[in-house]
Structure 1
Amino acid sequence: MFHVRRTGAALLAVGVLSSCTAGADGNPPEPPPALDAATTEYTAAYDDVVGALTRDIPEVEWTAKDRFPHVAEQPDGRCVLFLAESLGEGDLYEPSGGLTELAAVLDPVLDEHGFDPVSEVVYPESGGDVYVTATDPAGWELTVGAYPPIVGLSGPVETDRCDESALG
């Protein structure tokens, strides 16, 4: 269980850190969406991604974690909404060609929701999970990891208060 939590936290940290950078075109990211709008819009994107994975890679059964969504203020003052995270039971790595075939499964769905195509497969030098990511112009990031299978979505939001009370 510790490995799952550590991996999930590491994947979400990747999303938070990358949301600080410029977009793929070198321009600054779009302003963050309002919390309520982001929750609705990105939940639809997340559901569509998990649906595509379920449909095209049935070897993995996805289960949503029960502690999401939550918000956290980052050291730079940004408020990040950790919208959703699902853990998979089964092998994602082999049936997805070492995650290389995830682009064919996810890119059409991501395009519908304004995300860039998935990244090349990332093999961390210091160990850890093998993963792919996709971002949108507002700095939101979807991460799909292999060991254990995990899907997470997080990004910056605009809200008056950046704590759990903001979620209503």
Structure 2
Amino acid sequence: MANKTEKPTQKKLQDASKKGQILKSRDLTISVIMLVGTLYLGYVFDVHHIMSILEYIFDHNAKPDIWDYFKAMGVGWLKTIIPFLLVCMFTTILVSWFQSKMQLATEAVKFKFDSLNPVNGLKRIFGLKTVKEFVKAILYIILFFFFALAIKVF
């Protein structure tokens, strides 16, 4: 009796897409992000900027001022990391947008106070789904390093 014999109507499909209930693959999104991120690190990433900061620090070490070094390294890392994070963020948005057939789910973005319940949060943290996602994340990291070695990032 639980089997549904009729296909959903167009209105039900539109209502579901407004709620954000669409067929979307998280694995596809993660794979594309990893591919784009690896290509960015392999071909665009600017290590020379960080190296020039380190050379400056080692060349001018007569009277070190630790806060100047922290400031120089912080600014250097931000100039290097922020473009990478922006590329990954833009890729995530683009892949998710294409998977949702270029529709914005307004109801899915709304804030829900039920999500602040700590008991439900603990159930999500220690659930079987979380363990499965953790194992997949470890496998993604291993795959990322194989891609990085293939294009000789390291």
Place the TM-score, normalised by the shorter chain, in its bin: under 0.3
Q: Which has the higher contact order (CA 8 A, sep 6+)?
A: 2
- Which of the pair is proportionally richer in strand? 1
In our comparison, the structure showing a higher alpha carbon Rg is 2
TM-score (norm 2): 0.26
